[in-house]
């Protein structure tokens, strides 16, 4: 900077700078952010069903134990629980107050029975509430307020008993179970079933029944003592056994005291009569005697009693199996009476008789091998041409027509159907010979 100054004396100069500052402040935050993991509780559960024994005998009464295990496999406490357990027909379920619910905690290891604890139980019911093996049932259980006890890794054990009541070998007895689970803070319901649908397996057991009949003279002339012994030589009990013993023409029933747990009726059939006895139950490897007296004149002709095992609900004769909606009396009226219709009005050569005998043997073998009704009908139909023209052929045709009316031709020849088929064919074969 250059400037001029006039003065009489030498000027004294001072150096002064005056200024105003213009400023801007920049701010800066110095720090750190830490993000921690967020833990969410997970609702999860598993269920399994144990059936003991896993396999029961067909047409037998077997005690069974069912154990359902429900596990808390998640990290959330289970608060509410719905169980729907299906029980198939042909099984009797115990009453609802005999169902046990046991909750097992992992730490400390202890268990708590809760089936009688009202603070945890909303309902335990069986629908329908009748002990009827003819219809399926459901066990419905609703539990509440479990959050403090049904913790992760805990298990709820559900136990109850069943009685297998004459299950059939040709039926699949599925026993599905469904589970609905929720937490205290309710969200979407967690639903689960077993990985594979549980099935009660049925093992076919051959039923063995033996009949012995004796006819002895009585204390007075014209009186005869008849004794029919029924032996159950199998390993399963037999229910609803019908014994039909014909009383020949010229004789009448004079004395009879029915055995315990049986009912009877004396049916008049023209000049003959028939003693029909119904045995409710015959235990395995047991026997029962039917003793009665008949009076008349002449020799007492021998005939063998006819035995039919109906079972609890099975219809043992072929005619009854054909139409389950048809009353028994009506069905029997429509059935050709093979024993009465066949008359010996034909002669058969020894060679043809041998062929027919072989054909009957083949039929028995096929029935024992559990073929279908359709396959059996085909085999029987192929035999028709072996029979000469006459009443035998006519009745045999009537016998074949019974098979055509069976709706389920895929049904296999096992159980009562097998017994009734063999009985009918045996009767036809004997009358033919």
In a domain, 125, yes or no: yes
CATH of the domain at 134: 2.60.40.740
Residues 360, 197: Cα–Cα separation, whole Å:
42
- 240 and 254 within one domain: yes
Q: What is the pLDDT of residues 46-57, one digit of tens each?
A: 999 999 999 988
In a domain, 28, yes or no: no
In degrees and rounded to multiples of 5, residue 424 shows phi and psi of -65, -45
- 168 and 99 within one domain: yes
Share of the chain above pLDDT 70, in %: 85
Q: What is the pTM of this model?
A: 0.55
In a domain, 18, yes or no: no
Find out whether 146 and 35 touch, Cβ atoms under 8 Å: no
Calculate the CA 325 to chain-centre distance. Answer: 21
Find out whether 301 and 249 touch, Cβ atoms under 8 Å: no
Find out whether 124 and 93 touch, Cβ atoms under 8 Å: no
CA distance to 14, 25, 26, 135, 197, per residue, from 20 (Å): 20, 16, 20, 105, 92
Q: What is the pLDDT of residues 69-103, one digit of tens each?
A: 999 999 999 999 999 999 999 999 888 888 999 99
- 298 and 406 within one domain: no
Full residue range of the structural domain in which residue 142 is found: 45-203
Q: Which of 157, 15, 171 is nearest to 72 (CA)?
A: 157
Indicate the residue among 203, 221, 255 that finishes a domain.
203
In a domain, 377, yes or no: yes
In a domain, 322, yes or no: yes
The strand ranges marked E within 21-114 are 45-52, 55-57, 61-72, 80-87, 91-93, 100-105, 110-113
Q: What does DSSP say about strands 55-57 and 199-203: parallel, antiparallel, or unpaired?
A: parallel
DSSP state of 226: E
The structure tokens listed for 385 are: 């041409």
The total number of structural domains in the chain stands at: 3
Q: What is the pLDDT of residues 202-225, one digit of tens each?
A: 887 777 788 899 999 988 999 999
In a domain, 17, yes or no: no
- 76 and 189 within one domain: yes
């Amino acid at each position: 900077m250059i400037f001029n100054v006039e003065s009489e004396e030498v000027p004294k100069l001072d150096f002064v700078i005056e200024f105003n500052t213009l400023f801007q402040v920049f701010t800066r935050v110095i720090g750190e952010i830490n993000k921690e993991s967020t833990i969410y509780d997970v609702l999860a559960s598993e269920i399994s069903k144990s059936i003991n024994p896993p396999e029961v005998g067909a047409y037998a009464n077997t005690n069974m134990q069912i154990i359902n295990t429900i596990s808390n496999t998640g990290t959330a406490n289970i608060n509410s629980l719905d169980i729907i357990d299906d029980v198939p027909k042909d099984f009797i379920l115990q009453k609802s107050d005999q169902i046990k619910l046991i909750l097992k905690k992992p730490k400390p290891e202890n268990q708590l029975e809760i089936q009688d604890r009202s603070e945890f139980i909303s309902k335990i019911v069986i629908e329908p509430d009748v002990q009827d093996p003819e219809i399926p049932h459901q066990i419905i259980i609703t539990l509440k307020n479990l959050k403090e006890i049904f913790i992760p890794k805990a298990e709820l054990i559900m136990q109850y008993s069943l009685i297998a009541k004459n299950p059939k070998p040709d039926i699949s007895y599925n026993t599905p179970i469904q589970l609905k689970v929720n937490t205290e803070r309710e969200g979407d319901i967690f639903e689960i079933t077993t990985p594979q649908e549980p099935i009660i397996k049925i093992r076919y057991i051959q039923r063995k029944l033996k009949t012995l009949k004796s006819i002895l003279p009585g204390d007075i002339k014209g009186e005869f003592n008849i004794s029919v012994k029924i032996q159950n030589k199998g390993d399963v009990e037999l229910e609803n056994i019908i014994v039909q013993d014909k009383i020949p023409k010229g004789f009448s029933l004079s004395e009879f005291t029915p055995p315990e747990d049986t009912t009877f009726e004396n049916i008049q059939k023209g000049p003959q009569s028939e003693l029909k006895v119904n045995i409710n139950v015959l235990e395995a490897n047991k026997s029962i005697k039917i003793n009665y007296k008949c009076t008349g004149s002449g020799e007492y002709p021998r005939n063998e009693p006819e035995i039919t095992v109906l079972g609890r609900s099975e219809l043992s004769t072929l005619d009854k199996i054909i139409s389950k909606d048809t009353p028994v009396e009506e069905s029997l009226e429509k059935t050709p009476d093979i024993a009465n219709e066949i008359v010996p009005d034909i002669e058969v050569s020894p060679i043809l008789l041998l062929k027919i005998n072989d054909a009957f043997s083949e039929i028995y073998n096929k029935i024992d091998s559990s073929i279908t009704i359709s396959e059996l009908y085909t085999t029987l139909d192929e035999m028709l041409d072996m029979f000469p023209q006459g009443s035998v052929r006519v009745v045999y045709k009537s016998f074949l027509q019974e098979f055509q009316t069976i709706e389920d031709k895929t049904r296999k020849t096992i159980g009562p159907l097998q017994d009734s088929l063999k009985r009918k064919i045996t009767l036809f074969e004997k009358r033919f010979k």
